[in-house]
Amino acid sequence: MSFDGSGTFTPAASPNFPAVGGQVINASYYNAVINDIAAGLTNTLTRDGQGKPTTNIDWNAKNLTNVATFGAVTGNFSGTVTAVAFVGPLTGNASTATTAATATNSLSLGGTLAANFLQTANLLTAILAVDGAGSGIDADLLDGQQGAAYALLNSSPIFTGTLTAGSGVGTGAATVEVGGGRSGSGTANVDFHAVTGADFTARIIRAGGANGNFDIVNTGIAAIRLQNPSGDTIFDNAAESVRITNAGNVGIGIATPQGKLQVKDGTDENFLVRGNLNLADGVTLYSVNDANSATRSMEFAASVYYFAGGNVGIGLTNPTSLLHVNGVIQDDKGNVRRLIKSGETSGTLTSASANEIVRATGGVTLNGSVFTDNDSVVILNKSGGAITITVGGGLTLTSTTGATGNRTLASNGMATVWFNTASDAHISGSGLT
């Protein structure tokens, strides 16, 4: 019966076998035993390579040792190969040929791999810790992955998934590096495409060189937007509307701010914050034209104005009181004045006496073109005797009786002179003759 299918060779059954002592062996029985042995030997592999397998051989998890270099291999492998050097073309299906390869075992491919061999997911385990000659790729990086897990630069498959760096447990830095390790000063870009194959619509640019700019560019018409986690927009523009210069100046609506803050609302409408102008320190608020060569009007609209400390000057740059107005203050009843007592004086009065009480110690003279419209002067005679108010050149002095010349003011008398124009004044008072 030859081999029984499990590798056990059993001679032919009785009456052919076993032989009985003292009995003549029948020729037909003898020939049957010999033919059975011959059939069994025919199914064996010979040492000189005459016999060839006719079906798959199960090596029962045993190794082939002391095997010489393989020639051309065209069959299939199943089981485990730990260290094989292929010098001829390798074809066929090696679906499980390399599952047990480790860093201490190797698989050397000296020929051409057939397409069906490359289709296996287990091929990658055969090149653990083996550098691909000429490719520059360390095979360790491919552990457990197939080609679909890697993105190509210029052809399919194009990467369409999510790129995650440093996920999982740990506190180490997660870095995606673009352009690292290059020499020279080339630009490194990260492009975002809204449409496959179209030019980039957004780009992050790191210019070359040690001090190259870092830019975020949007080539479309949509906005570049920065938002906080609550969804509040911090920066949003379709065209440039905000700029921070290298000098630390901020421009809103203008690309070349002339001060620490410049807001442009329209043609020749600019609000500018700069350093001190006439004062020793502090800042100055301007309303200026586009050329920053002339001031413009400025309005303050509020329900309450509050200035903490310091004097406020209107119409002048050197206020000497909490509120110092150079000009007319008016309410719904007309002009508002408060006469200020000046020092004692005599002689020709100057514009410094406008809107003041002059305590005269002697005669005084009033000239034309010294005082302006709506100025007034109060003259109080503190000389101890009568004094003369002299009308100087270029001035017409009028009283209740019409034009008049010089007037006499009695001791402790008080006269008020009001200027209709620089050359026309009216006088009245107590003790005036």
For 48-96, what is each residue's pLDDT tens digit?
Answer: 878 778 888 887 888 777 777 655 555 555 555 555 555 444 444 444 4
User: In the chain, which segments carry CATH 2.60.120?
Assistant: 339-432
- Which residue, chain included where needed, has tokens 């074809």? 91
Q: Strand 334-336 to strand 329-331: parallel, antiparallel, or no bridges (unpaired)?
A: antiparallel
Q: What is the pTM of this model?
A: 0.36
| pLDDT reported for residue 146 | 56
Structure tokens at 198: 């179209």
Q: Which of 6-15, 81-90, 147-156 has the highest mean pLDDT?
A: 6-15
Name residues whose C-beta falls within 8 Å of residue 386's C-beta, 6 or more positions apart in sequence. 408, 409, 410, 411
CATH number for the region 339-432 comes to 2.60.120
What does the alpha-carbon distance between residue 190 and residue 209 come to, in Å, rounded to a whole number? Answer: 17
| pLDDT reported for residue 20 | 75
Predicted confidence (pLDDT) at residue 172 exceeds the cutoff of 80: no
Structure tokens at 244: 């921070």
Q: Report the half-sphere exposure of 109 (CA within 13 A, side-chain side).
A: 18
Give the tens place of pLDDT for each residue, 359-407. Answer: 999 999 999 999 988 888 999 999 999 999 999 999 999 988 777 789 9
Q: How large a percentage of the chain has pLDDT more than 70?
A: 59
174 vs 139, higher pLDDT: 174
Alpha helices in 258-325 (DSSP H): none
What does the alpha-carbon distance between residue 171 and residue 140 come to, in Å, rounded to a whole number? Answer: 24
Question: Taking the CB of residue 390, how many other CB atoms lie within 10 A of it?
Answer: 17
Beta strands, E only, 276-318: 283-288, 312-314
Inter-residue long-range contacts of 67-74, CB under 8 Å, 24+ positions, other chains counted:
72/111
Interior CA angle at 210 toward 207 and 212, to 5°?
Answer: 25
**Nearest CA among 413, 280, 416, 307 for reference residue 357:** 416
62 vs 179, higher pLDDT: 62
